[in-house]
Amino acid sequence: MTAPSAKPLFRAISGQGATVKEPLTLMPEAPIHVRPRVEVRRAEDFYPTGQPEAVRGLLARDGARIRECGGVWEPACGDGALVREIRAAGIACHASDLIDRGCDGAVVADFYSFDRSPARAIITNPPFCEINARDGHGRWLRHTLDMPGWDYLALLLSWDWPAARANGLGALLDARPFSYCYLMRWKLDFTGEGSPPQRNDWFIWDRNWQGTEPAFRFMNREDGQALHQGVLL
C-alpha cells in the first residue's frame, strides 16, 4: 500500500499550490467570545464645554434674542466654561450646580429644587444621564419645560439626541418640540483627549417662536470666532 504524498502539505506551508479562500479554524465549533465595550462615564456626567466657540456661536446667532431676556441662568455650570463667555459678552448670568466645581459666584443647588427659573433665558450643557431617553427618561427636559419664568432655552446636546423615543422622551418631543436647532459643523472635544466621536447641536425652545415645525440651521466655528474678535475690539 502506497503512503499518501506529503507534497500538498509542503505546498500549503510554503504558500504554493491552491489558494485558501477561508482561514483555517482549528476548532470551528468553539464559540467566539467578543469582549463587550464598557462605557465609563465621569462622575455626575461632568463633561465641561472646553471649546468656547460653541457658546460664542450661539451668542453670535441669537445674541439679540438672549439680550432681550435681560439675563441668563446656567443650571449645570460646572467650572464656569459657558458662564465666563456669557458674562464676557456683557450679559448677566446666574450660575448654579449640584457640586461646587469652582465657577465664580455659583450657587450650589440641585436643579430639580428650582420651581422657577431665576432668569428669562436658560443656556446649559445638561448632564446627559439626566436628559437622555435611556437613563434620564428626559427628566431634565420635562422639568425645564414645566418650569415658569423663562422665555428662551438653549440646550447643548449630541446631534442624535432627539431621535431617541424610549421611556417617554419621544412623546415629550412630539408634544413639545424645540423651535429650531443649530447643527455645529465641527466637533467639540469635551474630554480633551482628541478625536471627539460625535457632532453637537444647540436645541432652542423660544416661547415667542411663530413657526409650526422645528427649523434647522447650520452653525460654523467661524461664527463664534468672529463674535469674539468683535468683542475684543
- Please tell me the predicted confidence (pLDDT) of residue 196: 72
Does 7 fall in a domain? no
The Cα 61–Cα 152 span in angstroms is: 14
Residue 132 lies in a domain: yes
Domain assignment present for residue 27? The answer is no
In CATH, what number is assigned to the domain containing residue 99?
A: 3.40.50.150
Task: Assess contact for 209 and 152: CB atoms under 8 A.
Answer: no
Radius of gyration of the chain (CA): 26
pLDDT over 90 percentage in the chain: 69
Q: Across residues 40-66, what is the average pLDDT?
A: 75
Q: Is the pLDDT reported for residue 99 higher than 60?
A: yes
d(CA 180, CA 79): 28
Q: Is residue 31 part of a domain?
A: no
Residue 103 contacts residue 134 (beta carbons within 8 Å): no
Total domains in the chain come to: 1
Cell 475690539 locates to 233
Residue 20 has pLDDT above 60, yes or no: no
Stronger pLDDT, 228 or 198, i.e. the higher one: 198
pLDDT band at 23 (very low <50, low <70, confident <90, very high): very low
Which residue range is the domain that position 195 belongs to? 55-232
Q: What is the pLDDT of residue 229?
A: 61
Say if CB 229 and CB 58 are below 8 A apart: no
Residue 82 has pLDDT above 80, yes or no: yes
Domain presence at residue 93: yes
C-alpha–C-alpha distance, residues 204 and 123, integer Å: 9
Instruction: Give per-residue pLDDT as tens, 160-207.
Output: 999 999 999 999 999 999 999 999 999 988 766 666 778 999 999 999
Q: How many CB atoms lie within 10 A of CB 81?
A: 19
Q: What is the pLDDT, as a whole number, of residue 140?
A: 97
Give the side-chain half-sphere CA count within 13 A for 35.
2
Asked if residue 24 is part of any domain, the answer here is: no
Average pLDDT over residues 133-161: 96
Q: Chain-wide mean pLDDT for the chain?
A: 83
User: Is residue 138 in some structural domain?
Assistant: yes
Q: How far apart (Å, rounded) are the C-alpha atoms in residues 93 and 96?
A: 10
The CA–CA distances, whole Å, from 20 to 13, 30, 46, 102, 119 equal 11, 21, 52, 63, 70
User: 51 vs 26, which has greater pLDDT?
Assistant: 51
Range in 129-138, 154-163, 203-212, 224-233 the model is least confident about: 224-233
pLDDT of residue 107: 97
The more confident residue out of 40 and 95 is 95
What letter represents residue 163's amino acid?
A
168: left (phi over 0), alpha (psi -120 to 50) or beta: left
Which positions ≥6 away from 136 have C-beta within 8 Å? 127, 128, 129, 130
Confidence (pLDDT) at 3 = 53
Containing H/E element for 82? helix 81-88
The answer to whether residue 159 sits within a structural domain is: yes
